[in-house]
Amino acid sequence: SLGNGTRGRGMFADEDMSPGEVVISVPLDLCIIKQLDAADSEGPSEGTKRETEYELSEQERKSMTWVAELFLTADLLSAIFSDDDSNFWKEYAKMLPPPDSPFPLLMPKEDLAALSACDSVLVDTINSHRKKLKEGWEKQFDMPCPPPLLWLNACVISRCFHIWNKDAVMAWMTPFVDMVNHSYDKNCVLATSDNAIEIKTDKAIKKGDEILFSYAHFPNSHFYWRYAFCLEENESDVLEIEGGIRAHQVLFDNFLTTRSPPPPVLQQSIKLKTCPSNVSEEVQEQERTSVQQTMEKIDSLVGACDEFLKTREDKREVCEYVRLRRGLLESCRDL
């Protein structure tokens, strides 16, 4: 059943369940599904196939996923505003996040401008998506963007599921399954059958436990951008600063035991401490200057985060993201 918990609205077990049990099964004819294959990356597949075997590149997969989500948005728009009152999605729309939801895609310009001082990479992503959405809509459908477009696209990118094969991309909106929240400590998995999308337990669940599965391992910038939430303890978190600096959260916990290389600011600091005697003073000075510039940038970003949190404390979701980003910046500065 649906209810509210520590993660907000979610799905909860009505009874004790054993591993492998089906929690919910949704018929495919209730889902909105779009598939693109290698023969058609500009719109929905009509069943055409390449005669030779073909494997999508990573860039093609990303591009086709974006197009599939655009067509899901169009179908969702058509269903919700249909004259047919028996249309399932017309009624289910009442369960979608409302148009005033705190999705970054819907953020007012003044808030985006303030957020840019804290994370220009994220804001560039949001603005780029908005621009691409407008251009993509006008190209595909030869009409102006309807007013609900941003809202419905935000619903789609936060709630749709994907399957990536070597030569095709499938995206779909699945009612009720889209209510299941994320956790790395999941207790369920997503499964498909010939005629349904299912949620199955992969461990024992007690009555009243929240049904959870993993959306994947993402940094908080991705979780916030697509889903409008962040994780307090996220080992996949990444600090990305304009100029190419990128550092993983796990490095700040114990960077000596991490399997990832140290981020550039640490690489530079370590190199300075272990600099061989035959390295010129000029090179050492260049490295010191680079580290100093990086730390000054971090100090500036910490100050911008403090200002944002002070002036927009009523905007809970974005403030949570900025607070966690500030923590990463502080950790990097301390190191």
Name residue 212's beta-bridge partners.
181
pLDDT number for residue 258: 38
- Which of 216, 190, 188 lies closest to 203 in space, CA to CA? 188
Tokens of 109: 């310009």
State the pairing for strand pair 212-213/181-182. parallel
Place of tokens 């997503």: 190
What does the mean pLDDT of the chain come to?
Answer: 85
Assign domain 2-41+54-217 to its CATH superfamily.
set domain protein methyltransferase, domain 1 (3.90.1410.10)
The ranges of the chain annotated as CATH 3.90.1410.10 are 2-41+54-217
**DSSP letter (8 states) at residue 233:** S
Instruction: Please give the share of the chain, as a percent, with pLDDT higher than 70.
Output: 82
pLDDT digits (tens, 9 = 90+) for 268-327: 444 545 555 566 777 767 767 777 777 888 899 999 999 999 999 899 999 999 999 998
**DSSP letter (8 states) at residue 139:** H
pLDDT number for residue 289: 76
pLDDT number for residue 47: 42
List helix spans (H) across the chain. Answer: 58-80, 88-92, 109-116, 120-141, 149-159, 220-227, 249-254, 264-273, 281-311, 316-334
pLDDT digits (tens, 9 = 90+) for 99-148: 999 999 999 999 999 999 999 999 999 999 999 999 999 999 999 999 99
Tokens of 330: 């502080």
pLDDT number for residue 165: 81
pLDDT digits (tens, 9 = 90+) for 45-77: 444 444 455 677 888 888 889 999 999 999 999
Place of tokens 């889902």: 31
- Report the C-alpha gap between 126 and 226 in whole angstroms: 10
Is this prediction's pTM over 0.75? yes
pLDDT number for residue 277: 58
CB atoms within 10 A of CB 112: 16
pLDDT number for residue 127: 97
Higher pLDDT, 260 or 118: 118
pLDDT number for residue 231: 93
